[in-house]
């Protein structure tokens, strides 16, 4: 069930006994990599608590349209723009009727009316209510407007009847939802990317750093997420917006970046070290601002840990990809680094042309081959890089 990875599902729960199955549905959606926000009608909260749904979805549950506190978080119009799919499960006969008419009488009906996201409905009701012409006409109206109707199933009902109206089982709802989305190149893969420079403190106000802008790492993170990967971006200090659907962890020094990387790769398929990690840090960081009294100043530097070599040396290591920004002999230095750092793949590039720029040319090097990429925008080259990463990962 990989194609739901990174997809945003707004799960609407209406009042019906099948609401208890929405808890399991949420768990399955989360397990498949989807991000889930739950919206409940007041009647739904009589069957299952918002607290249960909050704990399972990891997000605050929306139950009221006019709730100042909730609106201050994610307002209802923002919420309407958020999902890739609105799934109403269970959808009661009453709620289906309200959708058919176009009511905006509570938060869930308002969201459906205000959203352009595809709508899927999993009806659940007594068999007589299901068979009633009013319900069938309402569903036909919704189908004509493009809504998908998942189920219902036939069988024993909570009310003692037997017939059509059972909510489709959570596992099947999951599969029907997943089938709506194309599977991305990296669907379901967990990818950790380091990006940007590190800053090594000299004293409370000064530091040593480099000219890395973070653009290449951020472009890779954005494209990997768009290809369905679950991306953790460990970022040094940069002036860039976090790409959509990417989990970003901010760090400052190389040692912090190492700690965050080791933690992230405990559950990770691919590690890409794009960061320009400072090779040295101060042996001793001054606790107070250093005064300009002497004519010259000597700073004692010690070697920083090599993050990517540490990752590559782990017993259970992810597919490990490095970068090498060189000012000369790009390919020779690249091959040497690939071998010395025991990487699966390395992208060598011209530091002078790449640093801070929006475009890049690179040579991909792996133990048994090479390929030339670009020159093109970092976003375009990122797509080529990810294709090579996937190809080499599959070959391994």
Determine if 308 is a binding residue for ligand C5P (CB under 6 A). Answer: yes
Determine if 349 is a binding residue for ligand C5P (CB under 6 A). Answer: no
Q: Which span (30-38, 102-110, 269-277, 282-290) binds ligand C5P, by CB under 6 A? A: 269-277
Phi, psi dihedral angles at 49 (to 5 degrees): -85, 145
Query: d(Cα 346, Cα 336) in Å, to the nearest integer?
Result: 10
Burial class (CB in 10 A: 0-12, 13-18, 19+), 50: middle
Nearer to ligand C5P, 53 or 307 (CB): 307
* DSSP H or E stretch at residue 366: strand 359-366
What is the phi-psi region of residue 123: left when phi exceeds 0, alpha when psi lies from -120 to 50, beta otherwise? beta
Determine if 323 is a binding residue for ligand C5P (CB under 6 A). Answer: yes
Nearer to ligand C5P, 96 or 260 (CB): 260
Pairing of strands 345-350, 319-326: parallel
- Exactly one of 159, 205, 313, 353 is catalytic; which is it? 159
Determine if 304 is a binding residue for ligand C5P (CB under 6 A). Answer: yes
Determine if 306 is a binding residue for ligand C5P (CB under 6 A). Answer: yes
The answer to whether 268 is a known catalytic residue is: no
Rounded to a whole number of angstroms, the distance between the first and last alpha carbons of the chain is 23
Is the separation of the CB atoms in 263 and 249 below 8 Å?
Answer: no
For residue 164, how many other CB atoms are within 10 A of its CB?
18
What distance separates the 2 farthest-apart alpha carbons in the chain?
Answer: 93
Determine if 322 is a binding residue for ligand C5P (CB under 6 A). Answer: yes
For residues 189 to 208, the per-residue mask of contacts with ligand C5P, x marking binding by CB under 6 A and - elsewhere, is: -----x--------------
CB of 141 to ligand C5P, least distance (A): 56
Q: How far is CA 282 from CA 27, 300, 304, 328, 371, in A?
A: 47, 6, 9, 28, 38
Determine if 337 is a binding residue for ligand C5P (CB under 6 A). Answer: yes
Nearer to ligand C5P, 98 or 337 (CB): 337
Non-local (6+) Cβ contacts of 227 within 8 A are 184, 185, 186, 187, 386
- Helix axes of 170-178 and 21-31: crossing angle, nearest 10 degrees: 40
For residues 237 to 256, the per-residue mask of contacts with ligand C5P, x marking binding by CB under 6 A and - elsewhere, is: -----------------x--
Determine if 226 is a binding residue for ligand C5P (CB under 6 A). Answer: no
Determine if 273 is a binding residue for ligand C5P (CB under 6 A). Answer: yes
Query: d(Cα 52, Cα 23) in Å, to the nearest integer?
Result: 7
Nearer to ligand C5P, 174 or 258 (CB): 258
Nearer to ligand C5P, 186 or 346 (CB): 346
Determine if 355 is a binding residue for ligand C5P (CB under 6 A). Answer: no
Nearer to ligand C5P, 150 or 323 (CB): 323
Query: d(Cα 40, Cα 116) in Å, to the nearest integer?
Result: 19
Determine if 277 is a binding residue for ligand C5P (CB under 6 A). Answer: yes
How many chain residues bind ligand C5P (CB under 6 A)?
Answer: 14
Determine if 270 is a binding residue for ligand C5P (CB under 6 A). Answer: no
Token output for 95: 């709620």
Smallest CA-to-CA distance from 187 within 312, 340, 10, 7 is with 7
Determine if 275 is a binding residue for ligand C5P (CB under 6 A). Answer: yes
Q: Which span (17-25, 57-65, 153-161, 319-327) binds ligand C5P, by CB under 6 A? A: 319-327
Active site (catalytic) residues: 159
Contact footprint for ligand C5P (CB under 6 A) = 194, 254, 273, 275, 277, 279, 304, 306-308, 322-324, 337
């Amino acid at each position: 069930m990989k194609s739901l990875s990174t997809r945003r599902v707004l799960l609407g729960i209406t009042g019906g006994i099948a609401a208890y199955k929405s808890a399991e549905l949420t768990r399955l959606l989360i397990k498949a990599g989807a991000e889930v926000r739950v919206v409940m009608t007041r009647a739904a909260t009589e069957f299952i608590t918002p607290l249960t749904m909050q704990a399972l979805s990891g997000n605050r549950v929306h139950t009221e349209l006019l709730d100042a506190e909730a609106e201050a978080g994610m307002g209802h119009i923002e919420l309407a723009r958020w999902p890739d799919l609105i799934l109403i499960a269970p959808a009661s006969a009453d709620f289906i009727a309200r959708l058919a008419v176009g009511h905006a009488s509570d938060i869930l009906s308002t969201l459906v009316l205000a959203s352009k996201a595809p709508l899927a409905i999993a009806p659940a009701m007594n068999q007589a209510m299901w068979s009633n012409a009013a319900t069938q006409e309402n569903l036909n109206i919704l189908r004509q407007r493009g809504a998908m109707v998942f189920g219902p199933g036939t069988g024993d009902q909570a009310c003692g009847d037997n017939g059509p109206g059972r909510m489709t089982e959570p596992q099947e709802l999951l599969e029907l939802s997943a089938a709506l989305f194309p599977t991305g190149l990296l669907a379901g893969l967990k990818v950790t990317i380091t990006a940007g420079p590190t800053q090594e403190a000299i004293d409370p106000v000064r530091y040593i750093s480099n000219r890395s802008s973070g653009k290449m790492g951020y472009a890779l993170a954005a494209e990997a997420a768009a290809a369905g990967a679950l991306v953790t971006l460990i970022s040094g200090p940069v002036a860039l917006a976090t790409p959509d659907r990417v989990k970003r962890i901010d760090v400052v020094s190389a040692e912090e970046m190492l700690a965050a990387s080791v933690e992230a790769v405990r559950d990770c398929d691919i590690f890409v070290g794009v960061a320009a990690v400072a090779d040295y840090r101060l042996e001793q960081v001054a606790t107070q601002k250093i005064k300009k009294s002497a004519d010259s100043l000597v700073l004692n530097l010690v070697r920083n840990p090599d993050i990517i070599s540490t990752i590559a040396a782990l017993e259970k290591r992810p597919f490990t990809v490095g970068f090498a920004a060189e000012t000369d002999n790009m390919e020779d230095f690249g091959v040497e680094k690939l071998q010395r750092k025991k990487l699966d793949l390395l992208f060598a590039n011209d530091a002078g042309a790449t640093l801070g720029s929006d475009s890049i040319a690179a040579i991909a090097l792996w133990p048994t081959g090479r390929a030339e990429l670009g020159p093109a925008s970092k976003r375009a080259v990122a797509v080529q890089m990810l294709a090579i990463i996937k190809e080499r990962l599959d070959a391994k």
